Amino acid sequence: MKYEPTHLEIFLTRLAFLLCGKSVYQAFADRLPLDGRERVLDFGCGMGTVAYYVAKRLPQGHLTCLDISERWLNACRKTLRSYGNITFLQCEAPQLANESFDAAYCHFVLHDIPENELERVIPALARSLKPGGVLVFREPLNETEKINVIKRLVEQNRLFHKDSRITDIPIMGNALESVYIKHNGGLP
């Protein structure tokens, strides 16, 4: 599923980043369970609104920003131009390497992916995590049906629910943030 944002969409996202960056994107980035040495995947990075804050939290780590859109990745490169610990990857999730990330996050991305694609994307995200790795997503709460599909697929792929919270996000409304852990093996 190839998608390229309009120039207006990029402009509006940049405006939201400038006006609400700390309250929307940094707040999410600050809650990610990171100690600074991890290999992290930003799945559906867009222009790097969350990655901007995550990169600062990885002084000895590495961030991979993945998007299917060349236009979003170009905008992301501009947002993150002052960081050296970032790789940019244009592809879809099924092409991810197995057990290569300590953490992966998706910020307002999964609800936009059709269910038949989620059935390929979520297993790829789960495989990309190292044992003990975490998957964190934030999705709009009004997407209840899609959230239920996402949670079902995540749990079918042996990721175990650790925590969830509902947040009120300026401009965007209520959202569900969930944290899942890839088990180290054996029983949870």
Q: Which CATH superfamily is domain 7-182 in?
A: Vaccinia Virus protein VP39 (3.40.50.150)
Which amino acid, one-letter code, is at 128?
S
Strand arrangement, sheet containing 39-43: 86-90, 62-67, 39-43, 101-107, 129-140, 173-182, 159-169
User: How many C-beta neighbours within 10 Å does residue 54 have?
Assistant: 29
pTM (2 decimals)? 0.91
DSSP assigned state of 137: E
Task: Give the pLDDT score at 184.
Answer: 73
pLDDT at 94 (0 to 100): 79
What is the C-alpha to C-alpha distance for residues 183 and 188, in angstroms, rounded to an integer? 7
pLDDT band per the 50, 70, 90 thresholds, residue 188: very low
- Over residues 127-154, the pLDDT tens digits come to 999 999 999 999 999 999 999 999 999 9
Measured CA to CA, the distance from residue 146 to residue 8 in angstroms comes to 26
Longest dimension (CA), the chain: 49
95-134 tens-digit pLDDT? 888 999 999 999 999 999 999 999 999 999 999 999 999 9
HEC letters along 31-83:
HCCCCCCCEEEEECCCCCCCHHHHHHCCCCCEEEEEECCHHHHHHHHHHCCCC
Counting other chains too, the contacts that 159-164 makes at CB distance below 8 Å and 24 or more residues apart are 159/126, 159/129, 159/135, 159/183, 160/188, 162/134
Q: pLDDT for 42-59, tens place per residue?
A: 999 999 999 999 999 999
Classify the C-alpha dihedral 155-169-34-76 as positive or negative.
positive
Give me the half-sphere count of Cα atoms (radius 13 Å) on the Cβ side of residue 37. 0
DSSP readout, 71-119? HHHHHHHHHTTT-SSEEEEES-GGGPPTT-EEEEEEES-GGGS-HHHHH
Alpha carbons 127 and 135: distance in angstroms, whole number: 11
Mean of all residue pLDDT scores within the chain = 91
Domain ranges of the chain: 7-182
